[in-house]
Structure formats: C-alpha cells, structure tokens
Structure 1
Amino acid sequence: MSDALGEIINGAAGSAQGKEGTTVQTLALSCAAGFVLFGVQFGAFLIVRNYLWAKRIYQPRSFLIPLKDRVKPPPNNPFKWITTLLQIPPETVRCKAGMDAYFFLRYLAMCLKIFGPAAVLILPILIPLNYVDGKGTKTVGDTHYNVTGLDTLAWSNVALNQTDRYWAHLVLAILLIAWVCFLFYHELYHYVVKRQEYLSSPSHRLKASSTTVLITSIPKKLCTTAALMDLYDDFPGGVRRIWLNRDYEPLKTSTSGSSIQIACEEDLQHDLATGALWTEYLLPKQREHMWIPQRKYAIASRIPLVGRFFSLRVDTIYYCRRELARLNRELEAAIEDPDSYPRNGSAFIQFNTQKGAHIACQAVAETSPGRMTHRMVELSPADINWSALNYSRENRAVRFCIFLVLFVVLVFVYGLISFFTGILSKLSTLSDSTSWLRWISSLPSWLLSFIQGALPPVILVLILSGPTPIVLRAMTNGTRGATTGSQGERSLQLWYFILLLFELFIVPTISSGLTSIVEELLHNVVSVPEILATNLPTAANYYFSFLVLQALSISSSSILQTIRLLNYYVFGSVNTPDGVFHKLSFTWRTRIGSNIPWYTTFTVIGLVYAVIAPLMLVFMLLTFSLFYIVIKNNVLYVVRTGDVDSGGIWFPSAINQTFTGLYFMEFCMIGLFFLVRDTDGEVACEAQGIIMSVVVIATILYQIWLAVNFNGLYKYAPLRLEGEAQLRDREYEATRLAANLAQDRPESKETVESSEKTVDVAGKSNAATHQTKDLAPASFQTLRQRHAAYARSLSTAGLAPLSEDVEAQREHDHKEAKQILARLNRPLDESRLAELESHLAQVEARVGNTLIPRQRDVERQMFNDPISKIIMQHNDELEDISREERDMLLSVAFTHPVLRQARPAVWIPKDELGVSDDEVKRTRELSGDLTIDNRGAFFDRRLKVRVDRQPPDMSEFTWVMAEL
C-alpha cells in the first residue's frame, strides 16, 4: 500500500503545475464547461426575473424593505437592465445600500483598476518576449527542453541566450508595484473621507451607536453606576446613561423552551384545522400524543427501547399549552427582579456627545493589566452578541487557544483535500508513472481533459465555499466569542482569507507542485536551479481554468440565486403563520466576512502571476468584470450586506491583505531572478534580484507608513469634525422644526418671530436642502412643544441627570418607549396609503429619474403586496421624532433582549369551520399566562396559509433596532 501511495505522490504533478504545460484543449474544455453553466443559469435569470412570482427573489429591495431604502425596479429589457445598472452612480449605492455595499463594489472596481492598465501595458511587451525564440522543445547541447502549451507564453520559456529580456520583467514588475501602491493609498484616503463623512453625518449622530461605549473586564469595585459615573463624567458632554450588563443566560434558556413549545403548538394546530372534516371522528386517545418521563423514573426513561415503559402518554396539544404557560410564568417572574442576576463585568456607557464617547473609548481607564482594555464604540444594539458579554478575560484567552487549535486542524484537513484534488488534476501523468493506473490512458481525451481541467476546481470550491464559512463563522462567533456581529465578520474575514490563501494558492502552487519535480531533483542534483526556474512559473496554468470556472459559475449562480430559489420553492415549505411571515418578509443577507476573502485571494493570485505568466491578466479582467456586474445588481436589488451596516470598517483590512499578493510576487521574482542561468551556467540576473530585494524593503516601509498615518482615522472621529458636526446638527434641527411649523396651521405673529429668532441663533441654512421627511406631521401643539424643547437644549448643554432610583427610571423609560413605538407603528389604513402614494409622486415629479419606485410598480408590488404594506407602516427614520423621544427609545435599546421582548404568542390561521376560533377560546380559558391569536392569518382555497399582518408577539423594536 505504501509503495502504491509513493508512486502516486512521486508521479503527481500537483494541482498547480506539471512537467508539461497546460494544453489549449484542456483550457478550452474548462472554459466550455464554465460558459455552458453560465449560459444556462444566466439565461434562466433573464427569463424568470420578470415574472411577478420571481420579484420576491430578484427584486425584494424594491418593495420588501423600508421606504427610504427602496430602489426603482430594473427594466425588463435585458439590454436596458445592464446599461441602467452600469449607469447607477456609486453614491446612489451608498445612499440606498449602505457603506458596506459601497465599499464592496469599490474593492472590485479597484481590482479592475489594477489589472486593466496592467494588461494594457504588460501583455503587448512580455508575451512576445517570452514566446519569440524561446526554449520550446529545442535541444541545446546535452539539454532537451520541453516547454509546451501555455507555458510558451510564460517566464520559463525565455531562452538561456536571451536572459537580458528579464530586465523588461523587472521594470514592468516595479511599475506594477508602484501602480498598486498608489491605488492602495488613493482608496484608503477615499475610505477615510467617506468614513468621516459617515461618522459626522446628522443621521448617524442621532444613533446610539455614535455615543455609546462598551467596556468589558471591569473590576468589581468599578462595576457600579456610581463608580463608572465618577470615572467618565468628566469627558466632554458628560455621561447620559449607564447600563450594567448581567448574565441572563437562564432566561434565554426559558425563552428557547417557549419557542420550541410554540412551534410545536402551531404545527399541531395547523394539522388540526386542515384535517377538521375527518378528525371529528377520532377518539381522544387517537389524537396526537407524546411521551414524557415520569419524575421518579427520570433516569430510566432515557434508556433507549425500554425508556417508554417509564414514561407517561399525554396529549401533545394540551401538554404544549401547559408547558408554555409554565415557562411564561417563570420567565415573567424572573424578569420582575432582573437585578438578582449576577453582573458579568461589562457595561454600556452612553455619553451626551460623540466627542465624549470617542475620547473615552481611547482613554486608559484602569491600572491593572488587562482590565477595561477592551473598549468598543460605534456598535448598534441590533449587532450585539449578548452571550459573549458573559465571557471573562481568562475565558476569552482559553477560547482563543481552542480556536487556534481547531483552525490548524481545519487547515490540515483542507490541505489534504487540496492535495488529492491536485492529484486528480494530473491523471495523465499518473497513468504514465503508476503501473496500476495505466487504464486511465485508455479514457477518451475529452473526458480526461474535463476531469483534469474542470473537475478539481469545482470539487475544491464546493467544499471551501459551502460548509467552510459556516464552520468558521461558528468558530469566530461561538468558540472565540465575538462581542458583535461586525467584529465576528472581521475576524472571519481574516481567518477565512488565511485558509483560502493556503488551500487555493500556497498548497497547490508550492507543496503539491514540488512533488512533480522530486524525481528529477534526486537524479540530477546539479541542475536544481534550472529545474526550479523552469517548473515554478508553470504553476499559473492551473489558475487559468480555475479562474474561468469560478468567475462563470459563481457569478451565474449568484445572479440566478440558485440556493435561494431552492430554499424558497423546494425545501422551504412552511405551514404556520409565523413561518409564512418570516419567509415572505425575509431579505437575503450577504455576509462580508465570507465573501471578500474570495476576491482578495483572487487578487493575490493575479498579482503573483501578473509578470511571471502575463496571460493571467486576461482571466483576472474577465473574473472581476463579471463579479462587479453581479455584485452591483445584488446589492441594489436583491440582498442586504448584513443586519447592521458596519460603515465599511472591513475595507482597510482587505487592502492590507491584498499586500500579501505584492509580497509573494516580489519574493517569487527574487528567487526566479537568482535561479536564471545563462549558457555558461552562471547567474545571469543577479542585479535584477538585488533590485527586487530593495523593492521588497520599500514595499514593507510603505505599508508601515500607511498604517502609521491612516490607522487612527479608520475607527474614530477627529475632534475638528466633531465641532463642525455639532454646528450642522443645530442648523439641521432648527431648520427641520421650522419647516414642520410652516406646514401646519397659521401661527400668531409672535410665534413666527420667536421661531425665526431661534433659527437665527442656530445659524442660517438653506431650508430646501434639509426638507423634512415626515409623511404625516404631528399635531401643531406637539411641534410647538418639540420646537421649544430643542430651543432650550441649544442654550443648556446638558440633559436630564441619571435617576437615583435605577429601577423606577427603567420602568418609566420602557413605558414611554412603548408609547412612542405605538405612534410610529400606526396601522396602515387607506388614507395612509394614499398619502404615501402622493408623496412618492411628488418626489418623482420634482427629482425626475431617481431610484424611487415607478407608479405602476407601487400599485402592483408596494401597495398590493400585504407584506410590503406591513413594512411600509413602520417608520424607522429617527430623524422624524424629537430628541427627547429618540432618547427614550435609546434608553431601552441597550437593555438585554429578554427584558424588553413581548410575551411569546401562539399564532394560528383562521378557518371557515371555526376550528381555530374554538382553539383560541379553549386556550385562553386554560390559563391567563398564554397568548394566542388567529387574526391576520387564514387559509386560502388550496389550504395554504396566508398572512396580512405581523405576528402578534413581534417586538416593537424590530423595525427600528438597526436605526438606533
């Protein structure tokens, strides 16, 4: 067995290179397979995307998201679709899809800027230099060369008597490095500008994330409201509110149990209603039942096969009702005394100003090592991983060690998979060198080319893109314990990139590739430099077919939304109102942490082989052009980039990871330069190697310079922008309130003059620039009160101090927040619909061709779709409420979700026979601790569940949480 394995290893050429260059036939078959797959999926997309049933898959951002983020549906004509898509400016993407989507496209555009000019400059120069009078299959002296296929266009084909041509490779490599470094600086500078605009924008400064700091590992003596107040109240603006976090994991366990019981109850109620005509003939003992362990035989009841003899047979519906009532009682009793749960050593501290929050986040707070060193600002309440706040500093250290061990194991396992796909990619070589595999040579040439060219990349990518990001995300969020979802995505971005770099580049190019020349190295030690110089550049051959397949398959499956189509119409069958509502209202999310590493790795591969194998540039242009079109279509019309917009904080990390491509290219070229020999066997490119070594040092110094000058600007808002932003906030608020007053009934002369004076105090501004977004203005008296309150806030810098009675203050805040949310989430009646339609028509007429839904799409999709109506009735724009009301919502936002969630409710569909009405009545009579409802859900003619309202237990914060 060991001898057979040795024959395979020694005979394998590896996935990235072999003794013979990749033939045009192998590449053509790989391209043909990719183009066929692309044509089928892209053609299916063009056909089905215009059907009404498919718009929930291909255009959900036109009618299934809040009104302010909706986009105009694309034209039905495929040519107009592509032209319209390419003409949409990047700023529109930023406004409609967010900063993450904007910089996602910006990174892909940067890659096109890298490889486009490089292809124009490098291809006309290096391909003739590499091909003309090259080694080919010539015999020079006692040496016979065998450079064939696509290798004749690469570095290794330059003849020994033409080594002066390598000066062109050096010059072009330096120019490419300089161009890439310039683009990196330009993109990072642009990122800093946009990031600071984002942090200082009025809409962002209204959010709690801009003024709230999370601090962990707080010592017990400081983990009190008074101690933290004394420590941080001296920062600019002072402290507005402090939340001391506690370990509510037992409450989460009860909540999970309630969810399980509710799901079971709803499924059974659905079956009961749909089978009502024949279930009336069933006896009570024939109803759905289940077995539960008897208390005195709890251990014996868990024994397989015999455990049922120690269990009780109960009616499933009645049991679920009793269990749900019990869990609700326990949960509500526990919530009555939340302070009885232990503190976990972390706290949210909200400041009155953004300046105070950002300064506090950077300030050293504790003298003990490791205490209060983990501080975070710009975090949204909807993005917090509450379980991770319970981890101590020591616990996190242990978890990180476990994470590293698991990651190393994962790299090793995938390394084996990559190695064996490399063996599969060179079956023809194996058949010549391995006796028991000679039968492979009898296969048809087209089949062998398909197996070697198309199959290995497909297998590898299916494994790396399928379960791998799911496993890594679970490791970063669960095992390592990321504090927020954004932090988990950035951690995933780093470790996933490292894994892909190993499995897609290092292992195929170096480790597996070297097995193809082991035999030659052992038999001809003297010619080691020549063998390495000839074989290493041929590693690019594998990536030609690899990139073509990935560009065509990934782009076509992404635009067709293959997985979502299967989940929605094949595997995603649901039969409860809750399931139907979430299925119809769900907007697909694309995770930055599992997407960007792929494009970063492709960029690294392209940079490494841009000069060594110039043909790579053609495939890089094809790859990133397709990706750019598909990703732009998806972020505008189909997906969201996560639950919360992180502000593009991952973008600098992607740039720094792309530097890896420059370093690999430089080190590879240094080695290749020193390995080049002339006809006399002497080193022919020593000068080029020395120059490239200097370039490596310059690149390292340049990256350090970028880090020193830019790192401080990625995360925090500069003080100068804080002052300017405060002035803009006052101008914006005063102008907005004055505009609201002008829209209501006429005022007395004294009131108008008073309003004008208040506006003058804040500073003059163009009112047309800041037109109000309120579609239904509040009453005149409310506006007067809001205007007077804000006028007072201009003269008095502080807000109301913290209440001494924390519990009373919390109850008061929660009650006030629910009243505000009830006003924001008002029912969507016909007058409200007419008002929204009129507003959209006015904006369309005033602005013109903007990304606001067309009238016919508004009538057909927005106003006729029940889920769209539900989403439209919720106002998630914090600019439309007063500062006091907004502050009241924020006071509840950073409390633990189990303390502010509604009581879990059973939601069943209404039926014509009255079965669900009877079940609702019986359940309510059973216990007052149960909530059940059948309004807003019903059966259609085919007994399919339909909904026209949101679930009765949906939290009031669901629609505004991401905006807080």
Structure 2
Amino acid sequence: MSNQTDTNQTMTDQAKVQLQTDSSTVTLVTSIIFNGAITVSVLFAFGIVRRWDKKVYEPRTYLVPKNKRSPKLSSGFLGWLSILKTTDEEIIQRAGLDAYMFLRFFRVFARLFAVFTIIGCAILIPLNAYQQGDERGIDRFTIGNIQTIERLWAHLVITYLFSAAIIYSLYHEYKNFVRLRQEYFTRPENRESVKAKTILVSGIPRELYNKESLKSIFNVFPGGIKHIWLNSDPKDLPKLIEERENLVANLEGVTITLMENYLKHVKQTGGDFENAGQVPKSLRPQHRPLKVPMVGSKVDSLEEYRAEIKTLNEKITKYQNDATKHAPMNSAFIQFNTQTGAQLASTTTIPRLLEIAPNDVIWENLNLSATQRMIRKAISKLVVSALVLLWFIPVTFVASISKLDDLKAKIGFVKTIVDALPNSVVGIIQGVLPAIGLAILMALLPIILRILSRFEGIVSHTKVSISVMSKYFFFLVVNVLLLTTLANGIFSALPLLQTRLPLASTFFITYVLLTFSGAALELCQIGPLVIHFIFKKFLVKTPRQIWTLEKTMASLDWGTTFPPHVLIVCVGLVYSTVAPLILPFVTVHFGLYYLAYLYNFLYVLDQPAESGGLAFRKAVYEVYIGLFIYQLTIIGLMFLKKAYIQGVLSVVLIALTFGIMTATRSLFMHNPSAEFLPADLAGVVDRKRKVIIDQSETNLLLEKDYKNDSHEIDISQATNMQDLDEHAFLHPAFTAKQPVIWLANDKAGIGAEEVRACLKDGVQASTEGASFDYATGRVHVDDKGFPEDRDGNTF
C-alpha cells in the first residue's frame, strides 16, 4: 500500500513537472510570437508612414541650423537604412556628444552580447541539456538542470571570460569617452561660447556678495573676469509673467473664435466677408471674469483680456525696473574672458558648476545654502528608500503572475481558474501580462523621481536628469531584477533555489522580448504621429499654437531613457551563464534600439542642453553593479550545488573585479579630465587637431561658420555660440517682455482691428506672417517665426 502511494505521488510530481515545463515553453513561444508579430508589423508600417509627415519623421532636415541638418532620405521602403552609413563624426556634429555616447552604449553591448550568444549557446546549452537532470522544455537549458559538478567548470570559465570582456570594454569605452569629451569641449565654437567661459558659484557669504569682492577673488585666473551676474530673487514676478502669457494665449484664441463665428454667420446669411464693420457684436466671445463658475456678469472677452494684459504690462515693468524689490540671493554667474580661466576656477574648493547654459538653469534653486541642500538630499534619499519598500507589493504581485503554477499550489481559487483556461491563454497571461504590468508600474516612477531630484536643490536640468538616472536605476535593479528573481522563487525553499532560481529566466526573457516592440514603436513614432494629426486637425487654431506645433521638436530625458537599457545589460549578464538562452534576445534588443535611436537622433530629436556625455559616465558604473550581481549569483549557485572549489574561485573573481573597478574610478572618475579639461588643454590645445590654438584662427573660424549664417541659429543655440546678450544669465523674469499678440490677417479686417485696439492700449500686437482663410476656416503661418523674432531668424 505504501509503495503504491509512493508511486502515485511520484506520478503526480512528474505530472506537475510536465505541466510546469509545458507552461514555461508555451509562455516563451507565445511571447516570441506575440512580440515578434508586433515588432515586424510596426517596422513594416514605419517603412510606409515615414513618408506621410515630414514634421514627425524628418524635422531635422529643415528645423535645425544648416550645419546640423541631416540629408533627405530615399523614399524607398528600406531607404531609411542608409543611416547606417553615417560616420561617428557626423553623429557628433548633428546630434551632440550626449547622443553619440548613448548610441555607442547600444553598439558596444550589441557586439558584446552577440559574442556572448555564440559562446553561451554553443557551449553552455549543450552542457546544461545533455544527460543531466529531469528538467524539460526550455528549463533543461539552464544551469538548474546540471547534476554533474565537473560540468560547472565550464560555467566558471565562461563567467571569467564574460566578466573580463565587460571590464575591458568599460575601461576602453571610458577612456574613449574622456578623449572625445576633451575634443568636444576644445572645439572653436565651444571655446568661445558663453557656456564654456561661465561658472555658477553658490553659497557665497553675504559679506562677499558684491561684484567688487567677487572680481578680486576670481580675477587671479588666466584672462580675468569679463562679466558678473549677481542672482536676485524675482519673488512673484514669474507668476505674473506666466499669467500674462496665459492672457496672451486667451486673447489670440478668442480673436480666432470671432473669425470662426463670423465665418458661420456669413455662410448662414449669405453676406460678404470683406466688411469688418458689419460684424455683429453678438458674435464676439464673452466670459465671466470671476473664476467661480456661473457667478458674475459676462464681459467682452477681447476687451477684458486686452485690459488685463495692459495692467500686467505696467505692473511687470515697474517691478523689473525697481531694483529695491530684487532681494539678493547667495549665488552668481561669473563669465571669464577665456575658457582656461573658467576651467581653473571650477577646480577650486568654492561650490561651482561649469558648462551650464542659461536655458539649463533651475532658477528657483539658486538661493539654497549648502546646509539646506544637504537636508533636502537626506529627505530625498529617505523618500526614495520608502518608495522602494512600498513598490515591493505591486511588483511582487506582477512578477508572481509569471509563475501561475506556484500560485496554483498555494491559492485554491487560482488553481480553479487557471485549470479552466487553455494553454495558449495561460501562455499569454504568463508571457505578456507580467512584462506589461511591470512596464506600467515603472512608467509611474520618473515623475516622482524628477520631483525629488529638483527638491534636492540641483540647479541644472541636465544634472537633475543625471540624478533621476541614478534613482531610477536603483529602483529598476531592486524592484525588477532582484525582487522579481526572488518573487519567482519565493514559494520554494532555499535548497531548491539551485533549480528554481534559473527558472526565473523565463520572466526576464519575456521582459526582454517586450522591448522589441518598444524599439519598433520608438522608431515608428506612432504616438507622436497620432498626436500631431489630432492637434493639427482639431486642437490648434491660433498662429502661435500652429507655429509651436510645427516648429517644436521632441527630445529625450536621459534620466528616464538610459536606466531601462542599463537594466537589460544587468539582466543579460546575471542570466548569461545561468540561462544562456536569454543572450540572443538581449543582443536583438540592443541592435533594434540602436537602429531606432540612431534614426531618431539624426532625423527626429533635438536635445535642448548638452552635458558632454555625463549620462554615459554614470551608466558605466551602473553596469558594474550588474556585474557584481552576476558574480554573486554565480557564487551562490556554485555553493548551493556543492561545487565548493568553483565557488571559491568565483569569490576570487568578484574580489578582482572590485579591485579593478576601484582602480578605474581612481583613474577616471576622480581625475579632473573626466569632468573638467586639464589645465594644459583648456583653451590652449585643440584636442581634435592636436595643435596649439591660434586665437586669430579661432576668431576667423567663428566668423566664417556662424556669423554669416546667424539667421540659421535658433534661440536655444545662440547663447551657446556667441556672447551676444549681456543679460544672458539674468533670471528670465527680469528681462521678459510681453509676447507680441500674434493675430491672423483676414478679409473681414477683424485681426487688423484688434491690432489697432491693442496698440492704442500700449499692448504689442501684429498680424505679420499669419492669415485666416475664410474658404477653409483655417489659419496659415509662414516660416519666419513670431513677430518679435522677425529679424532673419528663419528656418
């Protein structure tokens, strides 16, 4: 009777194993089919739709300065693949060093994982699968199927090889990054820019907060001081300016609404458009000035908005001109006459920030003291730690869905539901939903992390992105890599981890597979295409709205874009030896995203600020974290499988890696050449041409490359090229002018009449470059920009 019971139990266990094996295989196959079909379909659609909308797919062929434009692509289905012929020099010239180092990251790891795939699939998969344990399906290809300890020597050797390849690549790439960064910042156009010669000094004592004291302190550096901007607190001025901008938008909107009302009126009455004096007053838009709904009498919207703008203009101008209302802050921007002076001043012990553009400044954080920043940073870290713990619950739930068999064993009603479903549906639930759910959870984090980083008192948008990058990567490693791995084995006892832990790879393979469609969507720009169509067709109607829609380009936030891909590196490393089947999918991930981002940086995106590749530097050391997790995983598995010699040698490997990383950090991260230019290079040596800088040649180059084409440089670029504005580093609120009310010219003369009424009240307005077409009911604008910018600043 006992033997019969044991036999039945064995049969039951075998049946469970077979079900789990079938489930994991179906999960992988379903995920491959599902994501593969979406990826191929989207890529096919891209080959067609990219010809539909030039603004969405090729804005960099006409919306950027000529020296940064990309050539027009062939209209052929695969004509866009010609981007692969773009040289590194061209990428840096058109997209900047940040974008180039981002692309280089993908290129390096696509090559590395391609090599890892060949080694892992050719050596480890046969060793794991042939004449070993009882695992079936894809699970037999993992290290969990190994029963012969001697075979683990192969895993140890390959772990050493993979680790050595990663370490060498990181060292080589960091060394190359430092060289490129020095070349980039010693180019003539950068050396002579305001950005290169200006530093931000914060935490200035009150007794030194005057131009004379600061000049005496910093005049000792080569070239001396050219200009000092003492930062002042604008208090409520930014809110007043924002309110005025809203009123400007409102006035422009109701004026177009009046034209639309008149168009409907004429169509109904059969009248004549060319008679503005006959526009009935009943057609003029009205609103209640009080913010409480349904309270107060209605007023003429055009007259009310015009009057409010007039009042705000007077109030803002008075505030701007009254220096007594400008409370001093404890920071200042100091512009040197040479890049050398700025670089040397930035290496002093005084808190400072170098290579910051005016449009990159977070002005509200300039007045914080060092103590306030320290306290805020501590609070931020506590909040981040709390969020990591709180995220444990939803992430564990999402990850556990990928192991329904374990849930069935523990929760009765789950077993009833799952057993009633076909295998294909179970495969979709396990292979697709967890990855999608995890992606949604992770998408909510960047907003919170950006708020926390700004709260810390960082004064540069670029630096905020780097801070967000660190926090986001921390979240991803803890809540995706570590927590998901544990969640997939959380229902198993510790002795079973040697077989259960490798099985968590199924979830990560499906997670990587989901990114394939993400890469295709990144390339196809379906979201921006739909949004552009909807806005253009239904939501924008004023000249300003149309111009902004058609002339504004998208950009990437390094803080939220970089970490998910660094996580894929970490996932690929951790499971490279454990479950080598993941390697080809990681390789495809980096290949697809390289293509997508290469196209977008050359033809779609425009980064507002350039840090010179600082996000790449952060990514290098984040990869080291993944390398340590990888080696710790191997150590644990070796000891769990009682392969003690291999385990000890794995400990030696992690010790060696830590020593190499420490040496690398000492060589590069703490070397000023990584953050600053060495004193013998800054403003003295042209790193690209390897020659001593000839100042007269620099002036000549600048004159040739930029002055003749100054009308091709947009506003964001101008402050980085030449010192044309003595107010460059004043808070924008102190120099803000009223945006010219941009109205459309029309046959009925409504726009012209409103312009006259505005000018009479001292409110700047114009119909230049915009017209309302009564035949179509649409506004048309030319390509010369806002009325106040019509000084040759065209595209």
User: What TM-score do the two structures reach when normalised by structure 1?
Assistant: 0.74
Q: For 2:677, give the aligned amino acid.
A: A
Q: Sort the Cα spacing of 1:924 and 1:879 in 2 relative to 1 into closer, same or farther, 3 A.
A: closer
- What is the CA–CA distance in structure 2 between the aligned matches of 1:651 and 1:661, rounded to whole Å? 15
Q: Sort the Cα spacing of 1:431 and 1:202 in 2 relative to 1 into closer, same or farther, 3 A.
A: same
How far apart are residue 950 of structure 1 and its match? 1.3
- What is the CA–CA distance in structure 2 between the aligned matches of 1:495 and 1:329, rounded to whole Å? 45
CA RMSD in angstroms comes to 2.8
1:452 aligned residue: 430
- What is the CA–CA distance in structure 1 between the aligned matches of 2:93 and 2:196, rounded to whole Å? 19
How far apart are residue 591 of structure 1 and its match? 1.7
Task: Give the secondary structure class of the aligned counterpart of 2:591.
Answer: helix
Alpha-carbon displacement from aligned partner over 1:739-777 (angstroms, at most 9, x marks no partner): 9xxxxxxxxxxxxxxxxxxxxxxxxxxxxxx99336859
Q: Is contact 1:938–1:946 with CA below 8 Å preserved after alignment? A: yes
2:480 aligned residue: 504
Q: Is contact 1:213–1:375 with CA below 8 Å preserved after alignment? A: yes
Picking from 295, 298, 323, the partner of 2:308 is 323
Q: Sort the Cα spacing of 1:575 and 1:133 in 2 relative to 1 into closer, same or farther, 3 A.
A: same
- What is the CA–CA distance in structure 2 between the aligned matches of 1:873 and 1:486, rounded to whole Å? 20
1:488 aligned residue: 464
- What is the CA–CA distance in structure 2 between the aligned matches of 1:278 and 1:122, rounded to whole Å? 71
The answer on 1:671 being equivalent to 2:636 is yes
Q: Sort the Cα spacing of 1:375 and 1:688 in 2 relative to 1 into closer, same or farther, 3 A.
A: same
How far apart are residue 638 of structure 1 and its match? 1.1
Q: Is contact 1:242–1:349 with CA below 8 Å preserved after alignment? A: yes
1:937 aligned residue: 770
1:716 aligned residue: 676
Task: Give the secondary structure class of the aligned counterpart of 2:365.
Answer: helix
Q: Percent identity?
A: 27
How far apart are residue 469 of structure 1 and its match? 2.2
Give the number of aligned pairs: 756
Q: Sort the Cα spacing of 1:505 and 1:776 in 2 relative to 1 into closer, same or farther, 3 A.
A: closer
How far apart are residue 433 of structure 1 and its match? 4.1
Picking from 270, 287, 291, the partner of 1:290 is 287
Q: Is contact 1:246–1:343 with CA below 8 Å preserved after alignment? A: yes
Q: For 1:73, give the aligned amino acid.
A: K
Q: Note the 1:20-419 alignment, pairs <5 A.
A: 23-51=24-52, 54-82=53-81, 84-136=82-134, 147-159=135-147, 162-277=148-263, 287-293=284-290, 308=295, 311-338=296-323, 340-365=325-350, 374-419=351-396
Task: Give the secondary structure class of the aligned counterpart of 2:481.
Answer: helix
How far apart are residue 609 of structure 1 and its match? 0.8
Unaligned regions of 5+ residues in structure 1, if any?
Answer: 1-17, 137-146, 294-300, 366-373, 522-527, 677-682, 740-769, 778-823, 826-870, 881-885
- What is the CA–CA distance in structure 1 between the aligned matches of 2:369 and 2:94, rounded to whole Å? 39
Q: For 2:664, give the aligned amino acid.
A: L
2:704 aligned residue: 772
How far apart are residue 735 of structure 1 and its match? 7.9
Q: Note the 1:784-823 alignment, pairs <5 A.
A: none
Unaligned regions of 5+ residues in structure 2, if any?
Answer: 1-18, 267-277
The answer on 1:633 being equivalent to 2:599 is yes
Q: For 1:57, give the aligned amino acid.
A: V
Q: Is contact 1:431–1:439 with CA below 8 Å preserved after alignment? A: no
How far apart are residue 340 of structure 1 and its match? 3.4
554-563 or 348-357, larger mean C-alpha shift? 348-357
1:731 aligned residue: 694
How far apart are residue 426 of structure 1 and its match? 3.0
Q: Sort the Cα spacing of 1:405 and 1:282 in 2 relative to 1 into closer, same or farther, 3 A.
A: farther
- What is the CA–CA distance in structure 1 between the aligned matches of 2:149 and 2:725, rounded to whole Å? 69
Alpha-carbon displacement from aligned partner over 1:931-960 (angstroms, at most 9, x marks no partner): 111121112331121111312245989999
- What is the CA–CA distance in structure 1 between the aligned matches of 2:212 and 2:497, rounded to whole Å? 69
Q: Sort the Cα spacing of 1:954 and 1:493 in 2 relative to 1 into closer, same or farther, 3 A.
A: farther
How far apart are residue 923 of structure 1 and its match? 2.6
Picking from 537, 540, 546, the partner of 2:511 is 546
Larger radius of gyration between Structure 1 and Structure 2 = 1
Q: Is contact 2:199–2:334 with CA below 8 Å preserved after alignment? A: yes
Q: Is contact 1:492–1:594 with CA below 8 Å preserved after alignment? A: yes
Task: Give the secondary structure class of the aligned counterpart of 2:555.
Answer: coil
1:515 aligned residue: 490
- What is the CA–CA distance in structure 2 between the aligned matches of 1:26 and 1:734, rounded to whole Å? 64
1:842 aligned residue: none
Q: Is contact 2:252–2:741 with CA below 8 Å preserved after alignment? A: yes
Q: Sort the Cα spacing of 1:911 and 1:604 in 2 relative to 1 into closer, same or farther, 3 A.
A: same
Q: Is contact 2:21–2:138 with CA below 8 Å preserved after alignment? A: no
Q: Sort the Cα spacing of 1:327 and 1:78 in 2 relative to 1 into closer, same or farther, 3 A.
A: same
Task: Give the secondary structure class of the aligned counterpart of 2:681.
Answer: helix
Q: Is contact 1:242–1:348 with CA below 8 Å preserved after alignment? A: yes
1:854 aligned residue: none
How far apart are residue 728 of structure 1 and its match? 5.8
Alpha-carbon displacement from aligned partner over 1:375-423 (angstroms, at most 9, x marks no partner): 1111112211112213333443343344334433433443322222123
Task: Give the secondary structure class of the aligned counterpart of 1:659.
Answer: helix
- What is the CA–CA distance in structure 2 between the aligned matches of 1:775 and 1:261, rounded to whole Å? 36
The answer on 1:897 being equivalent to 2:762 is no
- What is the CA–CA distance in structure 2 between the aligned matches of 1:954 and 1:735, rounded to whole Å? 29
2:6 aligned residue: none
How far apart are residue 600 of structure 1 and its match? 0.3
Task: Give the secondary structure class of the aligned counterpart of 1:938.
Answer: strand
How far apart are residue 228 of structure 1 and its match? 0.9
How far apart are residue 903 of structure 1 and its match? 2.2
Q: For 1:30, give the aligned amino acid.
A: S
How far apart are residue 285 of structure 1 and its match? 7.3
Q: Sort the Cα spacing of 1:20 and 1:338 in 2 relative to 1 into closer, same or farther, 3 A.
A: farther
Alpha-carbon displacement from aligned partner over 1:885-913 (angstroms, at most 9, x marks no partner): x44x2532112212333322211111111
Q: Is contact 2:256–2:541 with CA below 8 Å preserved after alignment? A: yes
Q: For 2:347, give the aligned amino acid.
A: Q
Q: Sort the Cα spacing of 1:254 and 1:71 in 2 relative to 1 into closer, same or farther, 3 A.
A: same
Q: Is contact 2:257–2:285 with CA below 8 Å preserved after alignment? A: no
The answer on 1:704 being equivalent to 2:662 is yes
- What is the CA–CA distance in structure 2 between the aligned matches of 1:468 and 1:710, rounded to whole Å? 31
Q: Sort the Cα spacing of 1:404 and 1:872 in 2 relative to 1 into closer, same or farther, 3 A.
A: closer
- What is the CA–CA distance in structure 2 between the aligned matches of 1:402 and 1:20, rounded to whole Å? 47
- What is the CA–CA distance in structure 2 between the aligned matches of 1:246 and 1:735, rounded to whole Å? 35
Task: Give the secondary structure class of the aligned counterpart of 1:349.
Answer: strand
How far apart are residue 87 of structure 1 and its match? 1.9
How far apart are residue 223 of structure 1 and its match? 0.9
How far apart are residue 688 of structure 1 and its match? 1.2
Q: Sort the Cα spacing of 1:113 and 1:164 in 2 relative to 1 into closer, same or farther, 3 A.
A: same
Q: For 2:751, give the aligned amino acid.
A: S
The answer on 1:440 being equivalent to 2:418 is yes
Alpha-carbon displacement from aligned partner over 1:433-473 (angstroms, at most 9, x marks no partner): 432230331112211211111121112213323x4323322
Alpha-carbon displacement from aligned partner over 1:559-586 (angstroms, at most 9, x marks no partner): 1102211221125621111110011001
Q: Is contact 1:34–1:548 with CA below 8 Å preserved after alignment? A: yes
Task: Give the secondary structure class of the aligned counterpart of 2:677.
Answer: coil
Alpha-carbon displacement from aligned partner over 1:8-65 (angstroms, at most 9, x marks no partner): xxxxxxxxxx9658533221111111122112221211111123xx111111111111
- What is the CA–CA distance in structure 1 between the aligned matches of 2:113 and 2:793, rounded to whole Å? 44
1:647 aligned residue: 612
2:8 aligned residue: none
Picking from 525, 529, 533, the partner of 1:565 is 529
Task: Give the secondary structure class of the aligned counterpart of 1:324.
Answer: helix
Q: Sort the Cα spacing of 1:582 and 1:571 in 2 relative to 1 into closer, same or farther, 3 A.
A: closer
How far apart are residue 694 of structure 1 and its match? 1.5
Task: Give the secondary structure class of the aligned counterpart of 1:917.
Answer: helix
- What is the CA–CA distance in structure 1 between the aligned matches of 2:793 and 2:471, rounded to whole Å? 32
